[in-house]
A and B are shown apart, each in its own frame.
Chain A
Amino acid sequence: MENSFAEGESRILRPPSTAVVIFGATGDLTHRKLIPALYNLACDDYLPTGFCVIGVARSPFTDNDFRQKLYTSVSQFSRRSIDKEIWEKFSQSIYYQSVDATKPESFKALRDRLESLGKERGHNFNYLYYLATSPDFFAPIAKNLRSAGLVEEPKESLRTTNLVVEKPFGHDLASARELNKELRESFAESQIYRIDHYLGKETVQNILVFRFANGIFEPLWNRHYIDNIQISVCENIGVGSRAGYFDHTGILRDIVQNHVLQVLSLLCIEPPQSLADANSIRDEKVKVLRAIRRMEPGEIAQHSIRAQYTQGFIEGESVSGYLEEKDVAPKSSTETFVALMLEIDNWRWAGVPIYLRAGKRLPRRISEITVNFKGPPAALFAGRLINELEDNVLSIQIQPNEGISLKISSKPPGPRMRVRPVVMDFNYGSSFGMVSSDAYERLLLDAMRGDPTLFTRDDEIEQAWDLLAPVFASWTSPNPPPLHTYEAGTWGPSAAADLLSSHRHRWTRF
């Protein structure tokens, strides 16, 4: 039975009373992203009236110890500077509980703490469990939460208990399926929120508004008018302190399997039945992922390029190569750069190449979607001007500066008919007079509201792994395709350029 009170109404602004239980409270994610995001939600007055955070980890801290550590983190990582009054009030909602994630009896203490906090603060909290831990702990924590009576059945209870899980969600298709199965032994699918923080970025959310709120673009959004699509996620940093983890993962798993494919699916979906219904959108995303042609083993080398950075320069500073990084195996074959060419076999996109690239130690940090349109059908401009015509390009910048731009051709002032490209720009700062919030703020708010729209569903995850499975298989086979190299501070190996030039395309130049 649908909730008739929801129809025609805005989304609920302030979530119901919620206790956010963060497992992995001493880790990087909690300090750099989660608590700063919650603090900023407090600044914007979006937090529930009944709200508390319980940080959970093995270390024995007191509530005050934990609050002091978080003060330092928020000072450093929040997009706003600390307002002492807001922090004072916010920090009084922060608690700490020492829990061993592998020991069921430890969870009973957590349950007792949650119950006593509810009584003490006079609120019936919903519980939101955030697993900011290593993936090895996802299933045991879920199981121990259920055993301790901390998971409610959605149809039988007035309290909601939901679980937020960070990427990586599995290591491959089999492990992802296994993890889904294990989590569903303790939580219903409707209670599981798989986070991909790219979906919390304003520009990524704007893809749907841009496509479906503007009548001029949707008629062009297909194979008749679009020549190719490129999605680039470029980082100028190396692996840093994540080397130990990254060397077992690689950039295809770390970035492409989740963030890039999520962006791709939003870019290419059919209009959903409703933008207000989470499953309408997610159903369409799964259809796109299913329609992407799976590569045959013999095609991998022609459709994918992998590479590793070597010593070079980033903004004038010398940086070492990947194999010289600490905690990287001396003969590692882990890729720090990947380029793929995909094709979507459906009516809308057949014949439109989709180029994806992601890499570390590239010259700039930039994530951008580039939609390259086909040129006009006949050259009306005589003689040498024909060569000056550039195709229209729509660019959606995800980071660092969020915005959208459209390149068109225009006549510059003067006595001759000439054509020059010009760019029509929209950026969030000058158009809306405000700066975007951090992705985690939106996602945490949605998780507390119980809105799963911006979280990935089990079948989306599995389709993404299924799509890349042939590539992984090829790279780990006895005769893998070559691992190229590129100098740090350049835009990747020449083979990546060749991937496109063989189709008479070239990568967007940033």
Chain B
Amino acid sequence: MVQLAYTPCAPKDIGRTLNTFFAERTPEGGFNRATSMSQILLARDKQSLSAKGDLVQTLSEVRPGKFFELYFLPEGTALETSVAAHCVALDKKLHMCTEFIRIGGSPAMLPAMLSIVRAHGLTGVRSELFLGDWDLDRRMVLGVVGAVDQVMFDSTEAKDFGEVVGLVRELPSAIDLLWAGLAIWREQVRSIFEREILRAMLPNLSGITIDCQGRAPIGAWCLAGWLLTKLGFAGRFVKSGDELVCENIKGQKLRLAVRETKEKDTGSLTALSMEFPAGKRLGHVRFEKREELWVSVDVGTGYSYRRRLEDETTIGKLKKYLLIGESMTNYVRSLTLGHELKRAFA
């Protein structure tokens, strides 16, 4: 890799510093300044930004283009600006280069920071914001959101479900890596019900149980929201003991239980069971997270298989999303309904 290390420069010299670097590369080097995307990473402060090297590298390698790293200083009117470039060899004759512009300023200087983004952002291409931290001032976030087409974040670690829902409502387009992390569950539910013999049993579904280790995380509620939406039970639900009784427009009822263990902290989703009457007993389709995701069917006929778990870190989910993509069509509806379900259980 050929690179320009982070070089401090005045805001007015950003373009010149980068141009000089590229002008110095030999004409035969085939150094393409990538133009596919403008990206912004927003971090709480410089220390937080420094800890996000892997995130920056992942974002910039998979989507080469212009990369702005914004962080906040406690106070003052000074701006800290520096530039860098990373060029990756695609083959013997071609390098693809991402340009980095790092900008630090106090919250009051956000308009000045954004003016630099607007001056140097790529024209005619999509721009995207990655929220690097959750404890950012909402006004700051929304100030930057106005400059981009899409916002990406990972709400897995968010402490306040309501805050996530509120934020998503104000975004033009949201990519939540939490949703990408739930893909394995949604995919396996979809996959097992590709079998006609099981699809035919869905009208008789009597209950859904979601198990969590610790307190149910946002992902568990989101998954519950997705299931109920897909099954047509997104309308009414009434608390009954430790369960919700959900009713669809035909008057059919479905039980929903979300079971937590006693730990106080937000935990993880560990299992999903879908229960069907099977003769005189209750059969099930069960998805259980152990060292792999175990899928087992017991509805008279037994069947099981395992599916390797995906990397659930933010970087892992991000890499998968950037390389492969994930449909967000059902996300907002599932998240919103999941929030309603959580409130209904409370």
Contact = CB atoms under 8 A, between A and B. Distances in A.
A123 interface: yes
Interface residues of A, number: 34
Interface string A412-445: 0000000000000000011111010000000000
A157 B94 CA distance: 51
A380 interface: no
A89 interface: no
A128 B43 CA distance: 48
B315 to A, nearest CB: 15
Interface in A272-329: none
Nearest to B309: A49
B186 interface: yes
B283 to A, nearest CB: 13
A1 B199 contact: yes
Given A8-B330, A14-B308, A124-B305, A158 B195 contact: yes
Contacts of A209: none
A50 B329 contact: no
A81 interface: no
A450 interface: yes
A6 interface: yes
Contact of B196 (A10, A155, A430, A435): A155
Given A5-B190, A154-B196, A155-B196, A50 B305 contact: yes
B301 interface: yes
A50 B202 CA distance: 26
Contacts of B297: 158
Contacts of A7: 230, 330
A9 interface: yes
Contacts of A387: none
Nearest to B334: A8
Interface in B149-205: 183, 186-187, 189-191, 193-200, 202
Contacts of B324: 10, 13
A430 B32 CA distance: 8
Interface in B22-43: 32, 34, 36
B135 interface: no
A158 B327 contact: no
B34 A3 contact: no
A430 B91 CA distance: 10
A11 B64 CA distance: 25
Contact of A1 (B183, B191, B196, B325): B196
B247 interface: no
Interface string B290-333: 00100001000101111110000000000000001111011000
B90 interface: yes
Interface in A442-458: 450
Interface in A1-52: 1, 3-10, 12-14, 16-17, 48-50
B218 interface: no
A447 to B, nearest CB: 14
B193 A5 contact: yes
Contacts of A120: none
Contacts of B191: 12, 16
A429 B92 CA distance: 12
A430 B97 CA distance: 10
Given A49-B292, A429-B94, A13 B195 contact: no
Given A9-B186, A50-B306, A429-B91, A158 B197 contact: yes
B132 to A, nearest CB: 23
Contacts of B61: 433
A43 to B, nearest CB: 13
B210 to A, nearest CB: 16
Contacts of A8: 327, 329-330
B231 interface: yes
A433 B324 CA distance: 14
A13 B184 CA distance: 9
B96 interface: yes
Contact of A431 (B36, B91, B202): B36
B301 A158 contact: yes
B122 interface: no
Interface in A106-159: 122-124, 154-159
B88 A433 contact: yes
Contacts of B190: 3, 5-6, 9, 12
Interface size class on chain B is 35 or more
Nearest to A14: B307
Contacts of A17: 305-306
A1 B200 contact: yes
A47 to B, nearest CB: 9
A10 B325 contact: yes
Contacts of B199: 1, 3
Nearest to B61: A433
A448 B308 CA distance: 16
Nearest to B333: A8
A157 B194 contact: no
Contacts of A160: 195
A158 B330 contact: no
B197 A156 contact: yes
Contacts of B91: 429
Contacts of B96: 430, 433
Contacts of A13: 183, 187, 324
B44 to A, nearest CB: 30
Which of B196, B305, B306 has most chain A Cβ within 10 Å?
B305
Nearest to B96: A433
Contact of A9 (B62, B200, B305, B327): B327
A158 B198 contact: yes
Interface string B200-227: 1010000000000000000000000000
Contacts of A158: 195, 197-198, 297, 301, 303
Nearest to B306: A49
A7 B229 CA distance: 11
A3 B194 contact: yes
B43 to A, nearest CB: 25
Nearest to B307: A49
Contact of A4 (B196, B200, B230): B230
Interface of A: 1, 3-10, 12-14, 16-17, 48-50, 122-124, 154-160, 429-433, 435, 450
Given A5-B193, A430-B32, A433-B90, 12 more contacts: A4-B231, A10-B183, A10-B324, A10-B327, A14-B307, A49-B305, A50-B306, A123-B306, A155-B196, A155-B197, A157-B195, A158-B301
Interface of B: 32, 34, 36, 61-62, 64, 88, 90-91, 94, 96, 183, 186-187, 189-191, 193-200, 202, 230-232, 292, 297, 301, 303-308, 324-327, 329-330
28 contacts: A1-B196, A1-B202, A3-B190, A3-B193, A5-B186, A5-B189, A5-B230, A6-B190, A7-B230, A8-B327, A8-B330, A9-B186, A9-B330, A10-B324, A12-B190, A12-B191, A14-B187, A14-B307, A14-B308, A49-B306, A122-B306, A123-B306, A124-B304, A158-B301, A430-B90, A430-B94, A432-B36, A433-B64
A-B pairs, 6 with minimum CB distance: A8-B329, A5-B190, A49-B308, A10-B327, A158-B303, A8-B330
